[in-house]
């Protein structure tokens, strides 16, 4: 028995060792296989993340480029419209005049370097810098455009000229007078201003800004003819026709990617077709640095070798597992960092962005959208239709991949109750990215307000010039009528119907005086600011205006309250300010007609400004009247001249201030707000 037991033990001993070795070997091979597959999957996942982020960046870049082109075209159109209007205004005001001072005044008023009038022989007929008859020598490009316009006809053309790298650029605008044969106007403006704007909103500036992000090697917009824009100096690249990868993308609307050798280094290149009305069809190419990706991959490879060596030691197997988990956490951390960087860029966009997938579920909102509309990240995952109903906005939900609509101008009411004007841009996401759409909402309220103020100033200037001409033409015969009526009253005494005669003569004299007052206000509207400004305490013109109208207010049962707590001084003409407040108070009295209250408040503001508010308890402004209250000759009263608020607007803006009208929402009535610079 002892002998049999020894044999069994001697037989089992090696089996145990072989069993353990087999188990360890099998576990080691399985573990190595799992590690290998995990690392391979991790590499693929990391690369997929980078590809997805690159595709999203390419989609955002194409949409932003389209928006930049649209903005550039809009700016170009507005600039041509403005300078065409300037040329027409110059023709109306200066044509046939030779005094250089008149032309210089026009240049200073309209921020021009020079304005020249040429006849068909290209000789000066009027200019702020040359005498009549002189034949100027313009830069070659300007002269060529003028000669071409002599052949092809009228219109407006612009030419940017920079004589050398140190000289400031000059933007020339050439306008052919109508009717044909009247000659030309050549206006020169500061070209640096136009270059700065084009760089700020153009595709080149957009590419440069995005290429500064960490990890971006280059961004190139390439057409079949060559490079259109590039973020850096590049070595010669293959043409699209010679590159099958790029050539295939020109035929589709998908976003492609590849691993690409650039300057001896491997990069991830994302490419997407781009088309616009301003540039030939091409491909956006975005190269992303793979150093970090290769570093992580190399680290994983070293770990496989290390784990293979130490795997036979069961005690070190736990270390290997921990190491794998550590690297897993590192990969996850890298993913979160990449994701966080993308989210940070997304949240820092000044435009509101809303994205939803092919099923109509919201997938992303940025901080600008929350601030503008009140839609916070809690809306992610909810239905897009509900969001559109909440925002009361409308845009197409069926745009296909590659299509974009950026001209949807709509009204939006913010959570605070403000009404804003927004421009909505919609772009479809590629099907390989899950489909859906990205909606960009641009707040263009301030831009619209500036455009409206600019048009209003131009209209007031034109109407003022017209009023001056009309007033001068009417005043002479009006004076003759008034003098004749006075003489008839004093020197002629009819023997019959004396009472009717006196009444008719009195009406002629009174109406002549009233018409003369209206003409005086016409001239005031057209008059440039020629008075000498002094330091004025606001309480003085306001107090005098209240005193002048207190009797009328008492007769109507209207109470005037004036609230101020300190002396606030401005630099202005006190009489002109007094007339402003007389016009505003009188406008309120005429609106209320009987009983009510007018409240005048004065309060200092930061940055050296003061706010004056004139509020009443009248019926307020009708919605269709509110935008027109400061237009000259606009009135809702049969006996009104429409000049009171227009003169107030002109005086306030002459002193660098602002004036606006609004209805009081919390109660009944209207409110005029004036903001002036103060000392």
Do 487 and 456 share a structural domain?
Answer: yes
Query: Under a CB-based contact definition with an 8 Å cutoff, are residues 395 and 439 in contact?
Result: yes
Q: Domain span at residue 497? A: 449-526
Residue 209 predicted with pLDDT over 70: yes
Name the strand (E) or helix (H) holding 72.
helix 2-94
CA distance to 67, 81, 181, 214, 577, per residue, from 173 (Å): 26, 11, 18, 42, 39
- CA 240 – CA 223 distance, rounded (Å): 7
Query: Per the domain annotation, does 558 fall within a domain?
Result: yes
Neighbours of 151 (CB within 10 A): 6
- CA 249 – CA 331 distance, rounded (Å): 32
Nearest of 580, 359, 461, 377 to residue 88 by alpha carbon: 461
Q: What is the mean pLDDT of residues 264-284?
A: 89
Higher pLDDT, 154 or 506: 506
- CA 271 – CA 284 distance, rounded (Å): 5
* The predicted structure's pLDDT at residue 115: 93
Higher pLDDT, 581 or 141: 581
Place of tokens 């940055």: 607
What are the tens digits of pLDDT across the range 8-54?
A: 445 544 555 666 667 767 877 887 787 778 778 878 888 888 888 88
- CA 153 – CA 177 distance, rounded (Å): 10
Residue 325 predicted with pLDDT over 50: no
Residue 322 predicted with pLDDT over 50: no
- The token duo for 187 is 């206006």
Is 612 strand, coil or helix?
strand
Query: Per the domain annotation, does 62 fall within a domain?
Result: no
Do 640 and 539 share a structural domain?
Answer: yes
What are the tens digits of pLDDT across the range 232-266?
A: 888 888 888 889 999 898 888 889 999 988 888 88
Query: Under a CB-based contact definition with an 8 Å cutoff, are residues 358 and 72 in contact?
Result: no
Binned at pLDDT 50, 70 and 90, residue 420 comes out as: confident
Q: Which residues pair with 156 in a beta bridge?
A: 175
What are the tens digits of pLDDT across the range 468-479?
A: 666 666 767 777
Percent of the chain with pLDDT over 90: 17
Cβ neighbourhood burial of 421 (10 Å; 0-12, 13-18, 19+): middle
- CA 677 – CA 673 distance, rounded (Å): 14
CA distance to 77, 444, 448, 648, per residue, from 423 (Å): 17, 7, 11, 33
Do 661 and 538 share a structural domain?
Answer: yes
Helices (H), 134-260: 140-152, 191-201, 203-211, 244-249
Do 493 and 549 share a structural domain?
Answer: no
Nearest of 356, 336, 339 to residue 347 by alpha carbon: 339
Do 550 and 520 share a structural domain?
Answer: no
Query: Per the domain annotation, does 654 fall within a domain?
Result: yes
Query: Per the domain annotation, does 340 fall within a domain?
Result: no
Nearest of 68, 556, 86 to residue 278 by alpha carbon: 68
Binned at pLDDT 50, 70 and 90, residue 314 comes out as: low
Radius of gyration of the chain (CA): 38
CATH of the domain at 128: 3.30.450.20
* The predicted structure's pLDDT at residue 220: 92
What are the tens digits of pLDDT across the range 586-624?
A: 999 988 877 899 999 999 888 889 999 999 999 888 888
Q: Which residues pair with 422 in a beta bridge?
A: 410, 443
- CA 127 – CA 121 distance, rounded (Å): 15
Higher pLDDT, 401 or 584: 584
What are the tens digits of pLDDT across the range 153-184?
A: 767 888 888 766 666 788 777 888 766 677 88
Do 191 and 111 share a structural domain?
Answer: yes
Q: How many residues does the chain have?
A: 679
- CA 444 – CA 350 distance, rounded (Å): 12
> What is the 3 state secondary structure string of 138-164?
CCHHHHHHHHHHHHHCCEEEEEEECCC
- CA 294 – CA 301 distance, rounded (Å): 10
* The predicted structure's pLDDT at residue 312: 59
* The predicted structure's pLDDT at residue 406: 54
Phi, psi of 23 (to 5 degrees): -60, -45
- CA 355 – CA 395 distance, rounded (Å): 13
Phi, psi of 169 (to 5 degrees): -70, 150
* The predicted structure's pLDDT at residue 422: 84
CA distance to 351, 441, 600, per residue, from 369 (Å): 8, 8, 38
Q: What is the dihedral of CA 547, 551, 555, 557, to 10 degrees?
A: 20
- CA 584 – CA 545 distance, rounded (Å): 10
Do 619 and 560 share a structural domain?
Answer: yes
- CA 672 – CA 582 distance, rounded (Å): 13
Do 566 and 489 share a structural domain?
Answer: no
Do 462 and 416 share a structural domain?
Answer: no
CA 190 from centre of chain = 21
CA distance to 30, 46, 48, 292, 315, per residue, from 36 (Å): 10, 15, 18, 20, 21
- Among 198, 222, 238, residue at a domain's last position: 198
Cβ-based neighbours of 195, under 8 Å, separated by 6 or more: 160, 169
- CA 629 – CA 426 distance, rounded (Å): 37
Higher pLDDT, 416 or 78: 78
Q: What is the mean pLDDT of residues 61-85?
A: 82
Q: Return the sign of the alpha-carbon dihedral for residues 450, 452, 456, 458.
A: positive
Residue 558 predicted with pLDDT over 90: yes
Do 665 and 538 share a structural domain?
Answer: yes
Query: Per the domain annotation, does 415 fall within a domain?
Result: yes
Q: What is the dihedral of CA 306, 307, 310, 315, to 10 degrees?
A: 140
Picking from 454-468, 550-564, 617-631, which range would have the lowest pLDDT averaged per residue? 454-468
Buried b (16+ CB within 10 A) or exposed e, 222-256: bbeeeebbbbeebeebeebeebebbeebbeeebbb
* The predicted structure's pLDDT at residue 462: 65
Query: Per the domain annotation, does 68 fall within a domain?
Result: no
- Among 198, 232, 260, residue at a domain's last position: 198
What are the tens digits of pLDDT across the range 652-669?
A: 988 889 999 999 876 789
Do 136 and 177 share a structural domain?
Answer: yes
Average pLDDT in the chain = 80
* The predicted structure's pLDDT at residue 319: 46
* The predicted structure's pLDDT at residue 625: 87
Cβ-based neighbours of 315, under 8 Å, separated by 6 or more: none
Query: Per the domain annotation, does 67 fall within a domain?
Result: no
Residue 376 predicted with pLDDT over 50: yes
- Among 198, 233, 257, residue at a domain's last position: 198
Higher pLDDT, 77 or 341: 77
Query: Per the domain annotation, does 232 fall within a domain?
Result: no
Count of domains for the chain: 4
* The predicted structure's pLDDT at residue 671: 94
Nearest of 603, 590, 505 to residue 549 by alpha carbon: 590
Neighbours of 470 (CB within 10 A): 14
- CA 271 – CA 249 distance, rounded (Å): 8
* The predicted structure's pLDDT at residue 673: 95
Do 599 and 575 share a structural domain?
Answer: yes
């Amino acid at each position: 028995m002892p002998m049999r037991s020894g044999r069994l033990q001697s037989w089992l001993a090696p089996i145990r060792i072989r069993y353990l070795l087999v188990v360890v070997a099998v576990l080691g091979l399985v573990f190595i296989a799992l590690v290998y597959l995990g690392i391979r999957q991790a590499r693929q996942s990391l690369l997929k993340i980078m590809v997805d982020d690159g595709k999203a960046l390419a989609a955002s870049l194409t949409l932003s480029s389209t928006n930049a082109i649209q903005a550039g075209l809009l700016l170009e159109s507005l600039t041509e419209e403005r300078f065409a209007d300037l040329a027409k205004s110059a023709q109306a005001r200066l044509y046939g005049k030779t005094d250089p001072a008149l032309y210089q005044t026009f240049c200073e008023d309209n921020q021009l370097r020079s304005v020249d009038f040429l006849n068909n022989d290209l000789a000066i007929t009027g200019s702020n810098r040359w005498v009549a008859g002189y034949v100027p020598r313009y830069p070659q490009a300007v002269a060529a455009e003028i000669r071409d316009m002599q052949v092809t006809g009228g219109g407006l053309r612009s030419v940017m000229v920079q004589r050398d790298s140190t000289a400031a650029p000059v933007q020339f605008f050439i306008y052919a007078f109508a009717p044909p044969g009247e000659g030309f106007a050549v206006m020169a403006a500061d070209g640096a201003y136009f270059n700065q704007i084009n760089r700020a909103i153009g595709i080149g500036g957009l590419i440069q800004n995005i290429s500064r992000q960490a990890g971006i090697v280059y961004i190139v917009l390439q057409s079949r003819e060559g490079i259109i824009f590039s973020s850096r100096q590049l070595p010669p690249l293959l043409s699209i026709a010679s590159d099958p990868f790029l050539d295939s993308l020109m035929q589709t609307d998908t976003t492609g990617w590849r691993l690409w050798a650039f300057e001896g280094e491997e990069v991830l290149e994302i490419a997407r077709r781009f088309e616009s009305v301003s540039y030939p069809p091409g491909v956006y190419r975005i190269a992303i640095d793979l150093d970090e990706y290769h570093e992580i991959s190399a680290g994983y490879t070293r770990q496989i070798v290390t784990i293979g060596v130490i795997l036979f030691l069961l005690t070190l197997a736990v270390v290997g597992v921990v190491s794998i988990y550590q690297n897993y956490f590192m990969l996850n951390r890298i993913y979160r960092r990449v994701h966080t960087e993308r989210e940070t860029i997304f949240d820092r966009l000044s435009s509101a962005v809303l994205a939803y997938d092919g099923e109509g579920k919201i997938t992303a909102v940025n901080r600008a959208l929350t601030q503008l509309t009140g839609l916070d990240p809690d809306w992610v995952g909810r239905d897009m239709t509900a969001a559109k109903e909440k925002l009361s906005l409308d845009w197409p939900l069926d745009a296909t991949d590659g299509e974009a609509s950026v001209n949807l101008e709509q009204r939006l009411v913010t959570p605070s109750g403000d009404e804003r004007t927004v421009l909505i841009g919609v772009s479809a996401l590629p099907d390989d990215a899950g489909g859906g759409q990205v909606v960009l909402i641009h707040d263009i309220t301030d831009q619209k307000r500036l455009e409206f103020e600019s048009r209003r100033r131009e209209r007031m200037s034109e109407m003022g010039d017209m009023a001056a001409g009309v007033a001068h033409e009417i005043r002479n015969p009006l004076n003759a009528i008034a003098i004749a009526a006075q003489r008839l009253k004093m020197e002629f005494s009819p023997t019959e119907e004396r009472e009717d005669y006196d009444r008719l003569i009195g009406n002629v004299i009174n109406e002549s005086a009233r018409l003369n007052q209206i003409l005086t206000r016409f001239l005031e509207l057209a008059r440039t600011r020629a008075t000498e400004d002094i330091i004025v305490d606001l309480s003085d013109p306001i107090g005098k205006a209240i005193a002048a109208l207190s009797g009328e207010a008492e007769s109507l049962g209207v109470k005037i309250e004036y609230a101020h707590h300190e002396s606030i001084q401005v630099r202005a003409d006190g009489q002109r300010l007094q007339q402003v407040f007389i016009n505003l108070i009188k406008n309120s009295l005429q609106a209320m007609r009987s009983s009510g209250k007018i409240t005048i408040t004065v309060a200092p503001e930061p940055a050296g400004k003061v706010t004056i508010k004139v509020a009443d308890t009248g019926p307020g402004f009708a919605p269709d009247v509110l935008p027109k209250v400061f237009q000259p000759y606009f009135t809702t009263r049969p006996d009104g001249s429409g000049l009171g608020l227009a003169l107030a607007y002109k005086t306030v803006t002459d002193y660098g201030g602002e004036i606006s009208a609004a209805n009081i929402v919390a109660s009944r009535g209207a409110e005029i707000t004036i903001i002036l610079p103060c000392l």
